[in-house]
Structure 1
Amino acid sequence: MEIHPPLRALTSSLLLLALLSWGLPARADEEPTPLADNRRITLGYIDIAYELGTLLDPSLQPGGSSTVRPNWFVFAPHASQTGGQGMLGAALARRLIDTARGRPSLSLVHALDRLGLTGEAKLTAERLSLELIAYGVPLDAAASLASLTRAMNGRALADPRTLTATSSRFASLYWRAPGFHPLDKAEAVVRTLERTLHEGNLAIFTDVGGSARLYLDWRRTAVGEVTPERVLSEFWLQDAVPEESRRAYEYALAHVNDSPRPFLFANLFPGMHWKSLLVAAFALYEEARLAPTPATRDALIALGNNYVAWREQHDMAQPVFTPPVSYPDEVSRAALLKALTPMLKTDFGTLEWTYADYAYSQPDRDGNPLTSPPTEYSWAVFWDRWTGILYAFEQAYGSPSALWAMPEPLTDPTAQPSSER
C-alpha cells in the first residue's frame, strides 16, 4: 500500500522519538545530562554498527570483529566517545569551579588533585595551567580550562610552538569571556565546549543515526530480497529527493575506483539536498554486500562512507560549530575549537588518530618555522575538518578489525555525590 508523505513524515518522527528516548531516566521530569545523552548515543551507534556490519559481513557476531572495510557507523561510536570525553572534561571542570567558589585551591597541585587527573593527563594540564597563569589567569580558572584537554593528545604540547599558541588562544578566550569574576569567565569557556559537543552529538545522531535506524527497520520488514534498486525506489527519508539519490548512486558506481576517491560533493552535486546522499549511501552498502570481489566491496563501502560523512559534517556539525547567532553566555565556539585542534585525538578501537599527525603529513601552510603545522588548522573550518576526517578514514581502512574494539560508554561521575577534597 502506498504511504502518503504526511503519514511517512509522522512515521519517521515517531521512530526518531523512540530512538532518542531509549535509555532516558525513569522520571519524566528528570533532564538527562549531556553525558547521559552521550552514553545513550554511543550505545545506539554500537547497535547500528553491528546490525549494518552483519549485512556486509554475515560472519560478524555480536560483540565480535570483522576484517571487512568498516562502514561509517563503525566509526561513529568512537567519535561519539571522543565527544563524551570532552563533555566529561567539562563536567569535571565545572565541579572544580563550583568547589573553588566556596573554597579556593591552595595550590595548582591541589587544584589538579581535585580534578582527579593522573598520568599524562595531569602533566598536560599542569603544563598548560602554568602557561595560563603566566598570562594572568587565576589558579583555579587556569586549572579548570587546562583540564578540558584531559583526554586529548597532550604529546602535541611537547612542541613549544604548539604550547605557546594553545596557551595564548586559551588566555584570549578567557579574557574575552563574559562575566566579571574569574571563575565566571572560566565557566563560560567550559559551558561553550560542553554545549558545542552535546549539540553536535545530538544533531548527528538524530539525523544520521535516526536515518540508519529507519533504514534498518524498513529493511527488516521488506518482503523479498533487498537490492540497491529497491533502496532507491522504495526507501524514503524526509527531504531526500529520489532522483538526486539515484544520480549520486550512479555517479558512485561510475567513479568508485577513482583516486583520490570523490569527496568534493558541493561541486559534484550542486543544489542537491544532502539527505539524498544518505539514501544513496545505503544503496551503495547494499551494492557492496553483493559485490563480486572484496576489492570492489571495500571501494563501494568507502564511497558510501564519504557520502554519510559529508552529510554529517557539512549539514549537521557545521551549523553547531559556527552558529549564525552566538549565545551571550558563551565564548566564540570557532575560536575555542581552533585552540583545541592541535590536541584532537580519537581512539578508533585500538587505532589512534591525532590531528597533529594529519597536520604534520601535509605541506606547511605558511612556511613559517615559528609556527607548528597543527596550529595552522581549525576544527571549526569545514575543509580543515573534512580533509582530516578523510585522512582518518584512510588510516582505519588499513586496520579494519581495530575499529571493532568498541568503547565502553561513559557514565557521569558528577551525577553521584562525592566527597570534596
Structure 2
Amino acid sequence: MEPNRLSSPAPQSAPSSPDAATPSAPNTLRAPVPGFGSPVPAELSPLEQNRLITQGYLRIAHAMQAIIDPDFRPGGVSRMMPNWFAFAPHASQEAGKGILGADVAHRIIDAAQGEPAESVQHALDRGGIHGPQRLLLEALSHALNWYGLPRDVAAALASMQGALNLEALGDPRTLGMTAQRFARLYESAPGANPLAKAETVVVTLERCLNQGNVFIYSDIGGSGDLYLTWRQAVGPAPAARVLEEFSRPGSKTEQARRAYTFALEHAQDVPRPSDFARLLPEVSSESMVVAGFALYEQARQSPSPAVRDALIGIANNFLAYQEQFTAVQPAFTPPAPRPDEVSRLELMQAMTPLVRLRMGPAEWKFTDYASTQRDRDGRLLTSKATEYNWAVFTDRWPPILQSFEVGYANPAALWVAPPPLVGPDGQLTGAD
C-alpha cells in the first residue's frame, strides 16, 4: 500500500520514543500469512501491514526450523543454527520502527498546521517524543533549523529517525552530515509550503520502507509458504526430490541443481560464499531459493553439526541474495521516480548510519560494521558510516552478511519474538 495523505493517524497510534518500555511478546504465531501470490491486504495501514508481516514471518520461521531441527517445537526456542526466516521478523520490526518514526513526523506536521510550535522542544513534545534519546533528536532538530528549516519542519524530519540507532548521531560528523543531507532533501521536495515539503519527505520514507517490506514478504515469504504447503502434501523430502519437483516463479530445475551442487562443494569455505553474481553467474536468484530449501532438507539429515551449519549458512545466503538483489531493490530504486516524492536513493543514504538490527537481546549496528572498514574518502571530517548508501546493493550486502554472523553467535536470541510497537499512551500500534 502507498500512503497518500496529509494527516497522521489518530493519536493512539503515534509512537513514543523508540526505547520506551514495551511488553514482551510471547513466541505465539497468531496472524496467518497470506497464501502465495496473495497480496498483503491493501486496506490496512502501513503499521498494520507491518505487524501482519512480522507475525507471518514468525510462523514460517518456526515451521522451517522444525524441518532443520527435529527437536524444535513451533513456539519454542531452537539453539541450532537458524534459518533465514528467523531473521526476517526482526528485520520487519526494524522497518516498522522506521514507519513508526514517520507517524511521529506526521503528527508534528499536523499540529503545526493549526499552530506553529514555539520552539523545537515544543514541536517534539507535540509528537510525544520523550525518553533517553530525546537529546539526540533535539540536536538533530537544531542542526536542521541552523540550515534554515522551520522549527516544526526540523522537528518532524528529525523525529523520523526516532526509532532507529540514534547513538550514531553522537558522532558530530554523522550528525552534521545527516542534517546536511536532510536539508537538501527538504529543499528538493515538491510542495506549496514548508509543511507540505516536509510531508513529502516523510511520505517517501513511509512508502519506501513499507513497499520494501511488502515486496520481500510477498516474494520470499510467499516462497516459504509455498514450500511448506508442498512439503505438507509430500511429507519429508530428500534434497534430490526438492530439486526435481519443487519450483517457485522464475526458478529453473537445472539452475537449482547447479546452485545446490555448488553449495555442497563450497559450503565449508571461509568466508562463506556470497558473491553469487561472480560465482554463479548463470543461476538466477529465484533458482537459488529452491536450492536453499533443498539445503535445509539436507542439513536435517546431516549427522555432523559442522556440516549441518555450513549447509544452513549457504542456504540462508541464497535466500538473502534473492531478498536483497531482486525482491527489495525496486523499493529503494524504483524504475521511474514519483513526482510526489524526494529521491529514495538520497533518502536512504541519509538514513544509512542509523540502521540497526535488534534480535531479542542481541544487536547489530551499521556503525559497528562501518568502523571496521577502510575510510572510503580518506577525510577525517566525515565519519565512515556516512560513506555508504543502504539503497545500493553492494553497500548493504556485506553488512547484512555480518548481521547474520551476530545471529549465528546468538541463535536462541532470534526466537524471542519482537514486541508489539507501542505508542506514547501505551496503545499498541498495528496490533492483531
Name 1:175's counterpart in structure 2: 187
Which residue identity is paired with 1:209? G
Aligned-residue offset at 1:180: 2.8
Name 1:257's counterpart in structure 2: 268
Aligned-residue offset at 1:411: 6.8
Query: Aligned partners of 1:241, 1:83: CA distance in 2, in Å?
Result: 32
Matches within 5 A, 1:250-399: 250-399=261-410
SS at match of 1:259: coil
1:16 to 15, 36, 41: 36
Matches within 5 A, 1:19-418: 20=39, 31-223=43-235, 225-410=236-421
Aligned-residue offset at 1:17: 4.7
| Structure 1 contact 70–400 (Cα < 8 Å) conserved | yes
* Structure of higher RCO (CA pairs closer than 8 Å, 6+ residues apart): 2
Aligned-residue offset at 1:59: 2.2
Change (3 A) 1:38 1:411: farther
Taking structure 2 as the reference length, the TM-score comes to: 0.88
Q: Deviations over 1:18-49 (max 9, x none)?
A: 5x45xx5xxxxx82111111110000000011
Query: Aligned partners of 1:273, 1:259: CA distance in 2, in Å?
Result: 23
Equivalent pairs counted in the alignment come to 394
| Structure 1 contact 74–404 (Cα < 8 Å) conserved | yes
| Structure 1 contact 39–411 (Cα < 8 Å) conserved | no
Aligned-residue offset at 1:413: 8.5
- Unpaired runs of at least 5, structure 1: 1-13, 25-29, 417-421
Change (3 A) 1:325 1:48: same
Q: Deviations over 1:226-269 (max 9, x none)?
A: 11011001112122100000000000000011111111111122
Which residue identity is paired with 1:159? D
Query: Aligned partners of 1:371, 1:174: CA distance in 2, in Å?
Result: 22
| Structure 1 contact 120–154 (Cα < 8 Å) conserved | no
Query: Aligned partners of 2:111, 2:362: CA distance in 1, in Å?
Result: 37
| Structure 2 contact 108–156 (Cα < 8 Å) conserved | yes
Query: Aligned partners of 1:59, 1:106: CA distance in 2, in Å?
Result: 60
Q: Deviations over 1:309-347 (max 9, x none)?
A: 000000011121011211111001010100011111110
Query: Aligned partners of 2:199, 2:35: CA distance in 1, in Å?
Result: 36
Q: Per residue, is there more helix in 1 or in 2?
A: 1
CA RMSD of aligned residues (A): 1.8
Aligned-residue offset at 1:70: 1.0
| Structure 1 contact 36–411 (Cα < 8 Å) conserved | no
| Structure 1 contact 281–305 (Cα < 8 Å) conserved | yes
Query: Aligned partners of 2:206, 2:417: CA distance in 1, in Å?
Result: 23
Query: Aligned partners of 2:49, 2:204: CA distance in 1, in Å?
Result: 17
Query: Aligned partners of 1:279, 1:16: CA distance in 2, in Å?
Result: 15
Query: Aligned partners of 1:409, 1:68: CA distance in 2, in Å?
Result: 26
Which residue identity is paired with 2:408? Y
Aligned-residue offset at 1:143: 0.5
SS at match of 1:123: helix
Change (3 A) 1:169 1:158: same
Q: Deviations over 1:175-197 (max 9, x none)?
A: 11111311011101000100000
Which residue identity is paired with 1:303? I
SS at match of 2:247: coil
SS at match of 1:15: coil
| Structure 2 contact 212–328 (Cα < 8 Å) conserved | yes
| Structure 2 contact 177–386 (Cα < 8 Å) conserved | yes
| Structure 2 contact 37–222 (Cα < 8 Å) conserved | no
Name 1:8's counterpart in structure 2: none
SS at match of 1:352: strand
Query: Aligned partners of 1:119, 1:36: CA distance in 2, in Å?
Result: 25
Query: Aligned partners of 1:15, 1:162: CA distance in 2, in Å?
Result: 43
